[in-house]
Structure 1
């Protein structure tokens, strides 16, 4: 057995043992009975993790008064305490710590967050969960001195049920140890081209449920057929429902009032399948983002949501949305508000960022390089913007380590669990620019397999690299054999030659599948003007896009999408030119001051042309 075979076997063993299984998540938390714990939290910076480890570097005992999950308050004046929380040191939640105080700018390490709250349950039989939209990167969560659990992964949600013996009606002490250090065996790994924002970066909620409740569901049209009409008649939708705490035989009532549809099924004691016949349904699309209210009721619980019905499929060299070929006029996007140099987290942030994309005349956004917050996805649902959602398997993670595969699969499961009912997401991506090797390809194919097992109604892709040839650029990454769509990042004219190289560049792919150019771009400092040969000028970036557009018009007939890098400038510690970068990746079409660069209008004109001509 060679090395590659051994790695493949170890990956299969890890899967067969179920070690990659992630927790279940409550679907649509914002529509449930909740108490928001957003706001000001007190904090302690703890670079040596003194509040977690004793002097022998072992995790402290639960009742250790020196543990930072305790308040630090002394019972008497003789008690020794070496930590404490105070209103002199607070951070906003949700939010990254880097943007809130200059001392946090480059900080990577542990910060303890503390929040006091009162809470009285509506009914003694009810259950209470503590839900986090995301914490970067590792979270240890304590309530009233009791550890509720740990979560690893900086961009996906998690929750813990709070035992009745722990929850108090008054003066609850909630403490979260947040650690954003980078590790070789983490996902993402130590080397990334974006800012490692630390903190509790998304919403924190207390969620109260009945004793048994609707935990999760899925519903979507079955793929099939090529009828491109905007209204489907007699369409079949298939799905499932999962209850938490219920016994077999419990009645589940499903209703879509606008379609006059109601159905009652008996819960099978596990995930229970059902189907609906839709006599006439208006299809969700980029041109018509129609959504329907749905309610799922079991016992005393009712889950409400808004969903869109649509199909997405590949047929030969085309991507079909509702049976009709669609060209993806896209842009890449980081979860960042450039004008404030901070993580984006709110509905208002999502409206701003996706509003800029819509102004470009985009119908597609690649959410790079990790799952973005739920407000972003739900806003895209409402605007009719198609999405690519990705896990941060980025560059050179440790592909030979089965534990890294488990972490990647857990993040994949949590991403899909949160957003499987969002019609805007049409592509799950399992990674970006991973270097070709047999070990890497075995790793990535396992992720593709996992994604298909979790959701077979969407397309699977990954952003591949390209090796350039002066005469012809061939896309032949072996991972492309496993994905539904072949996606490639190319930087001809920036990292390879000048934009004029595009004039003679030819492209081919060995795969008879749809092709997306998932990245291309050039840097420019907003407001810096010179001739088109001067790097970092807006004119160079403008020239780059002009030549890229001409090249795109000569692409092979399987060319089905274009998502340049990137909508806005974003922060990156890798970008250190003292004049032109200053810690920013400058490939944005919009500067960090919010101003549109000249290249913005070149891409906008191309997309207007595509839409008007109905061609590539």
Structure 2
């Protein structure tokens, strides 16, 4: 076990609509990160050194993971790269670091002193899945809010967040008062501009786009983009989305673009890149309305840079 981070260096806090790092506004220039090698569906950090080098080149300052990184060495490397991490907790993960069993708080206690941590994230788009909660989404919102409250009692140095599917409604907001920062997975073609004003009208808290972006496969020819593998479509969409985010940083605290690497495990044979896949509320994916789940990386599965990598690098290094 590492003892390098027994004393915290950075202080994470909130002021109005801003996330603060050491009392200075922190803009998330982020990426969603779930590295799964060819031929498997299991996350693996064997490529972490190369990945962090690429992220550093791209100007990425934050990574968002969908399940906890229970490895001091990996977290140490992330911190050494000058990158923060948003740690995601699922509701039911078989009793390991999950919300249902309450074991998530054991992880929080174990790693709360680590300098790489930015926020603790509770759930990912669960509002799209009331069937997971006996068709009563209030069950989830109560669990989410109670979990956030327990985190606050055990860790005063980090923020709580959730990745909500689209703009939270009044029920979510009223039952989620212990959420410090609202993340939103937003797919509104290549222009999320309206989300910021909509958020201003319902909340005074910070928000960021916990997901957004485009994939590099066109299921159909549309909007001037040819059918098939199309890195230009992805690059153009991501440029417009990132421009929207950074033009509205008075309200929006940034984005964790989806995603770092292609995921061959999502739509078919784990040994090859397949067309297809499905995601809730994905009709807003540019430019074909189809998520094509295995084509979302800014690099491919072999870490070859796509066209969009240079766009991210340009926008994140301004």
TM-score by length of 1: 0.42
Is the CA contact (8 Å cut-off) linking 1:568 and 1:587 kept in structure 2?
yes
Cα distance in 2 for residues equivalent to 1:548 and 1:363: 18
Residue 377 of structure 1 pairs with residue 75 of structure 2 = yes
After the TM superposition, which residues 107-506 of structure 1 pair with which residues of structure 2 at under 5 Å, given as runs? 307-337=7-37, 343-346=43-46, 349-371=47-69, 373-393=71-91, 405-407=99-101, 409-410=102-103, 412-435=104-127, 437-466=137-166, 477-478=172-173, 480-493=176-189, 499=190, 502=191, 505=194
Instruction: For residue 236 of structure 2, give the secondary structure of its aligned residue in structure 1.
Output: helix
Residues 339 and 451 of structure 1, relative CA distance in 2, 3 Å threshold: same
Could you tell me how far 1:530 is from its partner in structure 2?
Answer: 11
* C-alpha RMSD of the superposition: 3.3
What residue in structure 2 maps to residue 66 of structure 1?
none
Give unpaired runs (5+ residues) of structure 2: 129-136, 278-291
Structure with greater proportional strand content = 1
Is the CA contact (8 Å cut-off) linking 2:10 and 2:21 kept in structure 1?
yes
Residue 596 of structure 1 pairs with residue 305 of structure 2 = yes
After the TM superposition, which residues 566-581 of structure 1 pair with which residues of structure 2 at under 5 Å, given as runs? 566-574=259-267, 580=275
Is the CA contact (8 Å cut-off) linking 2:89 and 2:122 kept in structure 1?
yes
Could you tell me how far 1:588 is from its partner in structure 2?
Answer: 0.7
Could you tell me how far 1:459 is from its partner in structure 2?
Answer: 0.4
TM-score by length of 2: 0.77
Cα distance in 2 for residues equivalent to 1:572 and 1:309: 37
Cα distance in 1 for residues equivalent to 2:159 and 2:121: 9
Cα distance in 1 for residues equivalent to 2:151 and 2:73: 23
Of residues 542, 558, 562, the one that matches 2:235 is 542
Structure with bigger gyration radius: 1
Instruction: For residue 481 of structure 1, give the secondary structure of its aligned residue in structure 2.
Output: coil
Cα distance in 2 for residues equivalent to 1:372 and 1:538: 34
Of residues 517, 541, 560, the one that matches 2:253 is 560
Cα distance in 2 for residues equivalent to 1:572 and 1:339: 8
